[in-house]
């Protein structure tokens, strides 16, 4: 806030102090006031004038030379207010500068050279949400509340990205009579349905993390002195060898520890309840993400890489199971394949998805993409098209892919998903896809962390028995 300085009668400029309570970013406020130290001492009294003797006038003039304590306190208080106002200005300037940087990156498409070679706005938004998630939750490796700074950063940035969807609308005609028809605008149907749900899932995850305050378990870092000392950083004993062996493939994670007698029944019950909630959140976010990806167009660059037949994609073993069985059971097929690693699972997912697209193209029901409703109609219509081999193969491949993702919930994105995100031009779908993807990952991490604690507790109790 800026205010002008007016010189007093001696030519000395007066200082102005602004109030620290500011409602807006405007430089104009009705709460500002002006304070003049010298005029404070020389201001006329409101009481009736009294005739003083010369000696009394001398004493009064001497007292006037030295400022009163109250006046000094007022000056010090105004200086503190001035410092506080400066801090507020600095915080507002930093936030404004951050918003300018975000706006510039969106316009430039992450191409800081300004040559126009950047990515489209949809990809920029998707990358920004992914990077924000890594910044806020990248170092969060245990069950504990987020810091206030990170929580504020997450809410502020996500509100900024989601505000884009407030202007993505669809035009709907509305009849006012027999001959009069007008058009109205409302939020696009996919945003209207999915975005409030994602906000709710986000808040539920934050509530789950905030609830981990007074815990009976704790964590120690791998290789730390507290872990090697035998008491896990607390007086009570722990059972850690099994945990280290179980988490050997994830060496960066801290080791959960529980008391020697294990967790209390109430703590165990609360952990299971929170795990169930986080698991439901994971399923809901996964469903929204799959629906959004299904609505995205399949890029031509992906279609050109597909083989001419779906059999060439999945191989003879899987193709035989898809064709010959009267009733198809995807769980049994996965058991026969004996998939033991995530690498094998993602490789199989890519093959099945490629064959699925190939068979759907042969039926004439797929050119680029289909909405989720169209896909559901295809599933329901497979019974009517029972004699169409391509429809049967596509339906079974879809069920196999779904079962595979359920068995490996930590499965990374398939080649088709990555290609869709890379070539997507719809900003609304980019927000929904990236938001649901990061929430899906966070919910899965919460479930995994709770499973680790319950595993240690179960191991300790089994040892005592």
Dihedral of CA 65/70/73/77: which sign? negative
Q: Per-residue confidence of the chain (465 residues) as pLDDT tens digits?
A: 444 444 444 444 444 433 333 333 333 333 333 334 344 334 444 444 444 444 444 454 444 445 445 555 555 556 666 666 666 677 777 777 877 777 777 778 777 777 777 788 899 999 999 999 999 999 888 999 999 999 999 999 999 899 999 999 988 888 777 777 778 888 999 999 999 999 999 999 999 999 999 899 999 887 654 454 444 445 444 444 344 345 456 677 888 999 988 899 999 999 999 999 999 999 999 999 999 999 999 999 999 888 888 888 888 888 888 887 678 888 888 888 888 888 899 999 999 999 999 998 887 765 554 444 454 445 444 444 445 788 888 888 999 998 998 888 888 889 999 999 999 999 999 999 999 999 999 999 999 999 999 999 998 888 766
User: How far apart, in whole angstroms, are the C-alpha atoms of residue 305 and residue 419?
Assistant: 12
Q: Which residues pair with 174 in a beta bridge?
A: 182
Q: Is 119 exposed, middle or buried (0-12, 13-18, 19+ CB in 10 A)?
A: middle
What torsion, rounded to 10 degrees, do the Cα atoms 328, 334, 338, 343 define?
Answer: 140
The CA-atom distances, in angstroms, between 301 and each of 109, 297, 337, 356, 368 are 21, 11, 30, 17, 11
Find the helix packing angle between 265-295 and 372-381, rounded to 10°. 90
Q: How far is the C-alpha of 241 from the C-alpha of 184, rounded, in Å? A: 65
Q: What's the pLDDT score for residue 12?
A: 45
Neighbours of 170 (CB within 10 A): 13
Phi, psi values for residue 132, rounded to 5°: -65, -40
- Fold of the CATH domain 218-222+244-366+380-462: Methane Monooxygenase Hydroxylase; Chain G, domain 1 (1.20.58)
pTM attached to this predicted model:
0.72
Contact assessment for residue 144 and residue 212, using Cβ atoms and an 8 Å cutoff: yes
CB 419 within 8 A of CB 114: no
Domain boundaries, the chain: 218-222+244-366+380-462
Question: How much is the pLDDT for 383?
Answer: 42
- How confident is the model at residue 247, as a pLDDT? 46
Q: Give the per-residue pLDDT at 101.
A: 77
């Amino acid at each position: 806030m800026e205010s002008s300085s007016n010189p007093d009668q001696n030519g000395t400029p007066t200082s102005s102090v602004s109030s620290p309570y500011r409602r807006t970013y405007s430089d104009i406020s009705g709460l500002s006031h002006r304070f003049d130290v010298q005029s404070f001492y020389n201001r006329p009294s409101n009481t009736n004038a009294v005739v003083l003797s010369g000696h009394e006038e001398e004493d009064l003039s001497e007292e006037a030379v030295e400022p009163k304590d109250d006046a000094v306190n007022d000056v010090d208080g105004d200086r503190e207010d001035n410092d506080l106002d400066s801090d507020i200005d600095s915080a507002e300037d930093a936030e404004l500068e951050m918003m300018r940087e975000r706006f510039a990156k969106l316009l430039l498409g992450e191409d800081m050279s300004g040559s126009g070679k950047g990515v489209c706005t949809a990809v920029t938004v998707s990358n920004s949400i992914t990077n924000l998630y890594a910044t806020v939750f990248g170092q969060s490796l245990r069950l504990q509340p987020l810091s206030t700074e990170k929580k504020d950063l997450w809410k502020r940035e996500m509100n900024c990205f989601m505000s884009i969807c407030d202007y993505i609308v669809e035009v709907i005609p509305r009849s006012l009579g027999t001959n009069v028809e007008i058009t109205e605008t409302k939020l696009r149907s996919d945003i209207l349905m999915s975005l409030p749900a994602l906000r709710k899932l986000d808040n539920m995850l934050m509530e789950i993390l905030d609830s981990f305050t007074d815990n009976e378990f704790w964590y120690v870092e791998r290789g730390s002195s507290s872990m090697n000392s035998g008491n896990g950083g607390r007086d009570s004993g722990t059972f850690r060898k099994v945990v280290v062996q179980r988490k050997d493939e994830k060496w960066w994670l801290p080791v959960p520890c529980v008391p020697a007698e294990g967790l209390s029944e109430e703590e165990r019950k609360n952990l299971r309840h929170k795990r169930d909630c986080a698991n439901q959140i994971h399923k809901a976010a996964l469903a929204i993400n799959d629906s959004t990806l299904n609505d995205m167009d399949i890029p031509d660059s992906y279609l050109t890489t597909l083989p001419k037949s779906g059999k060439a994609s999945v191989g003879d073993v899987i193709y035989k199971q898809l064709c010959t069985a009267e009733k198809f059971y995807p769980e049994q097929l996965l058991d026969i394949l004996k998939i033991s690693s995530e690498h094998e699972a993602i490789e199989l997912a890519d093959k099945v998805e490629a064959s699925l697209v190939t068979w759907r193209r042969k039926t004439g029901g797929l050119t680029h993409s289909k909405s989720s409703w169209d896909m559901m109609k295809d599933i329901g219509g497979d019974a009517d098209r029972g004699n169409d081999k391509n429809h049967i193969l596509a339906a079974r491949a879809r069920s196999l892919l779904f079962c595979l993702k359920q068995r490996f919930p930590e499965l990374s994105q398939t080649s088709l998903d990555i290609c869709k995100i890379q070539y997507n031009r719809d900003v609304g779908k980019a927000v929904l896809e990236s938001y649901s993807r990061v929430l899906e990952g966070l919910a899965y991490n919460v479930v995994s962390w709770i499973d680790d604690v319950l595993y240690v507790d179960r191991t300790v109790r089994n040892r005592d028995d």
